[in-house]
């Protein structure tokens, strides 16, 4: 996306959680704890993926995208589909996007990536 910046990928954290589960240090109940609201958001606003759930390995995970930011007003904290983000990036100065993967079968959920969008000034990159 044209204004995407300050990207944080949580892939390492996800792998650590899955590894801990498989080694028996973490229980399935600790990681398969999606709240009913998140499961509803996955059903109604989620975008299907081709990635198999790392816990149950029976269903593909669904990405749920949330937006937060002072400039969003009533839209802050809402689940959005990716196609809505393009228009929002043009309409708002700056807001943060969080993408959570959810398994609607076993309730696995994990933050996968976050980033900033908006038409505000670009981040200044300092050169060392």
**Model-level pTM?**
0.89
Using one digit for the tens of pLDDT, what is the confidence trace for 21-68? 999 999 999 999 999 999 999 999 999 999 999 999 999 999 999 999
Using one digit for the tens of pLDDT, what is the confidence trace for 101-110? 999 999 999 9
Region label for 91, one of left (φ > 0), alpha (ψ between -120 and 50) or beta (otherwise): alpha
Domain count, the chain: 1
In a domain, 124, yes or no: no
Query: Which tokens belong to 65?
Result: 């995208």
Task: Quote the pLDDT of residue 126.
Answer: 47
Task: Quote the pLDDT of residue 127.
Answer: 47
d(CA 125, CA 51): 34
In a domain, 128, yes or no: no
In a domain, 62, yes or no: yes
| Beta carbons of 71 and 94 less than 8 angstroms apart | yes
In a domain, 99, yes or no: yes
| Beta carbons of 114 and 96 less than 8 angstroms apart | yes
| Beta carbons of 18 and 25 less than 8 angstroms apart | no
In a domain, 32, yes or no: yes
Exposed, middle or buried, 109 (CB in 10 Å: 0-12/13-18/19+)? buried
What domain range includes position 55?
A: 5-18+25-117
In a domain, 125, yes or no: no
| Beta carbons of 81 and 44 less than 8 angstroms apart | no
In a domain, 39, yes or no: yes
Query: Which tokens belong to 76?
Result: 């802050």
| Beta carbons of 109 and 3 less than 8 angstroms apart | no
In a domain, 49, yes or no: yes
Task: Quote the pLDDT of residue 1.
Answer: 59
């Amino acid at each position: 996306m044209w204004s995407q910046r300050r990207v944080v990928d949580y892939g390492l954290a996800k792998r650590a959680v899955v590894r801990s589960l498989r080694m028996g240090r973490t229980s399935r109940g600790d990681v398969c704890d999606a709240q009913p609201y998140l499961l509803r958001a996955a059903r109604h606003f989620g975008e299907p993926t081709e990635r198999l759930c790392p816990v149950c390995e029976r269903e593909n995970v669904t990405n749920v995208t949330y937006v937060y930011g002072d400039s969003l007003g009533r839209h802050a904290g809402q689940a959005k589909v990716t196609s809505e983000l393009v228009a929002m990036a043009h309409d708002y100065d700056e807001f943060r996007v969080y993408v959570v993967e959810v398994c609607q079968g076993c309730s696995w959920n994990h933050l996968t990536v976050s980033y900033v969008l908006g038409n505000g000034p670009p981040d200044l990159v300092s050169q060392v």
